[in-house]
Chain A
Amino acid sequence: MSEKAIVFDRVSKSYPRYHQIMGIKNFLFHLPTAIRSLKNARYEVLNGISFEVYRGESFGIIGRNGVGKSTTLGLIAGVLRPDSGRVIVNGRISPLLELGGGFHPELTGRENIILNGVLLGMTRAEVLKRMDEIIEFSELGEFIDQPLRTYSSGMYARLGFSVIAHLDPEILLIDEVLAVGDIGFQKKCLDKMLGFKRMGVTIVFVSHSMGDIEKICDRVMWLEDKRVREVNESKKVITDYINR
């Protein structure tokens, strides 16, 4: 368990303030202020955080809304760049997209499986090879040839998770997406994640459900106030978090 899949080394991350993203008209009419605000109006979300995730480990991230959990996943996925510090990732990353992300409502379930699989890094041939398995896992039956706009949100979630479940991920990023879908399917997803865990997939799991976190994660990181408040084994951190 000593090989490292993810290393954060004193990572800081800030975002531009919202008013920075404005129209070109406003920009030109308020040029001096606009240029000044471009320079300094970023606000910090993470301030020099360091942690490591080992290969094959299931790692939870908890903290209140807006503390930077999704930002941390974005940094791991490489879609965000840190302002300073280093993010090192060893392994292929599979993010579990939010509800409907990477889907098109006009395409059928089957077509969306291909679209989603390719977006998540598979080749088309690989997706086609697993098509039957994916459809079976999704339990969508004949809906699979209906356009997605006829699906309920639970069915969207089924489809999304079914694709990811057949990705052969090395590092799986899951950001609060299991909360939809019926209880039966949620349980199936949890089982699949436990299955991934047994197979040695590294999982980074963000959730507000302490029950799910405890079931899945070996260790948990608690983010608070731009920093790591605590990293330890799940039970300990969850207890501290609840009794904060």
Chain B
Amino acid sequence: MAMDPYRPLDFLELDDQFSEDERMVRDTVRSWVSERWMPLVMKHWEAGTFPSELTPELAELGVFGPTLPEQYGCAGLNSVAYGLICQELERGDSGLRSFVSVQGSLVMYPIYAYGSEEQKKKYLPKLAAGELIGCFGLTEPDAGSNPGGMTTVARQDSSGYVLNGRKMWITNGTNSDIAIVWAKLDDVIRGFIVPSDSKGFSAPEQKHKWSLRASITSELVLEDVRVGAEALLPNAKGLSGPLGCLTQARYGIAWGGVGAAMACFDEALRYSKERIVFDKPLAGFQIPQKKLADIATDISMAQLLALRLGRLKDQGRMKHWHVSMAKRNNVAMALNAARVLRDMLGANGITLEYHTGRHMCNLESVYTYEGTHDIHTLAIGQALTDIPAYR
């Protein structure tokens, strides 16, 4: 677990703000990413594939639904530890963090929060063990920022439900065993656990992405898909169901952005000290130093924001607008950092041998998904003014 050349930025010496087990969790995931993920990421990003062979290792580490209780095969960690997991995974790649976020926050969480005890017992241990992989189908071709405008419908019949509709941009869609599908039943949004081998269900992969390439993104097509009555999540009615899951996932993304930015910063700092231009290191000139100073400051502020958010969450005081502020700020921060630092790498920065360009491309997706940057602006605006400006 040693010999890790990655030097994470901790300018404000925040290390002592984390408990011993939080640091252990972070360091464990950090080592795993360095040793197991980093050697593979370039190849998979280029090929547009996810290294599924690592799924059992991720499960063994315990990163799927790590805050859920031990009785369902999970680790029962606190939220700060979960945040640190996301930070470290996204240091590796936003696609890796997405894979884990979807499984934990968007598939296991709704089953845990809205499911029956039978559903929890049936699915959670297998999802935690990586024996089942799940996806979350909310977005549709014509309903993204406005998921309430969805047209996917469920109809009750004698044996259960029949689902019809189309979902788009679904992470892990093609490689899933189950899909959490959100659909309108009598005009109310409800969640269904749909096995991917159901008749009428297909999940064609969406190709030609130049972002989040080491993650599978798919369409979900539901044509008269029949599921039993036991597929319905009993305790979610209305938009608050899917939004509740998204709050969990966005919480992780707020930390993930920090990790992606830390990865870029580490690479550019190292590079700028080694790269000789006009007979001295690039880092010895004022313009690069200003860039480094700005970004180190931005990262440090984002680390503080994430930490505060995590402590609020663990105290049960986190509100969705807190998450909006952190997701919005930290992802925009990371995207800006990646762009600025990519430039410092010169031509080398446009190859996949360096990580910053890959993070830069990935972060465009992260900026858009889980509530676009602007939608979070409006969520914060509404919290401040009590006036919803997105309608």
A and B: bona fide binding partners: no
Measuring CB to CB, which residues of chain B are less than 8 angstroms from any residue of chain A? none
Measuring CB to CB, which residues of chain A are less than 8 angstroms from any residue of chain B? none
